[in-house]
Each structure stands twice: as structure tokens, then as C-alpha cells.
Amino acid sequence: MTSKTSSVPYTSLPSHPDSYPQNVIVLSYYHRPPNHILRRCLLFTTAILLLSAAAYLLYPSDPAIQLSRIKLNHIRVNSSPELTLDVSFSLTIKVENRDFFSLDYDSLVVSVGYRGRELGFVNSKGGKIRARRSSYVDARLDLNGLEVIKDVFYLIQDLARGVIIFDTDTQVKGDLGLLLFKIPINGRVSCQVFVNTNNQTVEHQDCYPQ
């Protein structure tokens, strides 16, 4: 009887495994950085943060100015011999020193205008404000015999409406005492003041720093 040889669909394993090529992956050993390097990195980062905070706190800034109070003493329109305006204001200006060093200001100037034209100004004496403190400066502005012939039509309209809008501009100049140095500073704020001509009071004011 003839025996049939069965076909094998795979190759049998060799008797010597060493005859097959083998790939070997070598992993390098992880070296942890020494503790003194970690400490240096931590100290360097801390120093950078402290210097940034110090620069932010010590960097000089202009003083903050606020027209905290304005009082209309009187307002009068003169029609003879020509159309003029008499007006008197009492003002209180708040000057805030936001820095960590004292502020010596030379002068504080307050000007009042009408429809973009300056009517007059008052100049207050200088002073000193300690670090992180505020100071209040009182000023009185009397303007008599102002010629308003150029704005007479606007003035008649405002008088008929009962409200006149004045423009005020307050500016302070001085020096900031930073150790042995003197750093010039300049603060300024502008306001629109709405004056009721019937009861001669200030209805409200819109201020914005410059």
C-alpha cells in the first residue's frame, strides 16, 4: 500500500534557536539630578519673582487727582454795557500719592473753561504728600467780567435750559523722592461740571484722568 505524505503548511522550529538572529534593546540608566542643582533652580526662580514684584511696587507712577468737591458760589450774567459773565467756584482737589516714596509737588493749577475756551485759572501753592497717603487742597476761583460775545447764542440757550456746562482741568507737577534721585511726575484730570443756574448748584460732574 502506498503511503501518502501529508503537506505541512508551516515550518518546524529549528533544533538550535541560536541560529535565528536576535535584536537586543539596551536602556540607559536614568540619572537623577543632584539636589544642589534643584536648589539652584529654585533659588533662581524665587529671585526672579522677588525682583519682578519689587520693580512693580517701586516703579514710580503719577499721582491720582480727583475733583472731590466743587461749589458754585455765584453766577451772574451782565447785559450792560456789554454781555459779560461773573462766576465764582470753590473747589477741593484730592491728590493721592500711590507710590512708596514721598511726593513733593510744586504747584496745583485748576482752570475753568466754557465750550472749549478757557475762562481763567487758579494756581495753588505746593506741598508734600507722604508715601501711600492723600492730601486735600482747597482753591477758590473768581471770574468777573468775562466776555462771552462769541458764545452768546450758546449761553442764551444754556440759560433758557437752566444748565451751563463748564470744563475744569486740574494739573499737579512735582518730584518723587526715590532714594537719592528726584523723578519728575505729572498728574492731570479733566471734568465737565453741570451747573444749575436756577438754584446755582452743581448737578453732577463727569471726570476722566489724562
Look up the domain containing 36 and give its range.
21-58
Other beta carbons within 10 angstroms of residue 33's beta carbon come to 8
- Assign 3-class secondary structure to 169-202: EEEEEEEEEECCEEEEEEEEEEEEEEEECCCCEE
What pLDDT shows up at residue 31? 59
What pLDDT shows up at residue 190? 92
What pLDDT shows up at residue 169? 93
Last residue of a domain, one of 41, 58, 75: 58
Q: In terms of domains, do 47 and 76 share one? A: no
Q: What SS3 class is residue 153?
A: helix
Last residue of a domain, one of 58, 86, 111: 58
Q: Which triple of cell numbers denotes residue 163?
A: 444748565
Last residue of a domain, one of 58, 77, 108: 58
- Residue 14 CA to residue 33 CA, distance in Å, equals 48
What pLDDT shows up at residue 23? 58
Q: In terms of domains, do 99 and 183 share one? A: yes
What pLDDT shows up at residue 170? 92
Q: Is residue 149 part of a domain?
A: yes
What pLDDT shows up at residue 55? 57
What pLDDT shows up at residue 53? 65
Other beta carbons within 10 angstroms of residue 15's beta carbon come to 6
> Can you list the residues of the chain whose pLDDT is less than 70?
1-36, 52-58, 149, 178-180
Q: In terms of domains, do 153 and 78 share one? A: yes
Contacts of 208 (CB under 8 A, 6+ apart): 189, 190, 191
Q: In terms of domains, do 40 and 74 share one? A: no
Q: In terms of domains, do 51 and 116 share one? A: no
Give the DSSP H or E segment for 134: strand 134-147
Q: In terms of domains, do 73 and 157 share one? A: yes
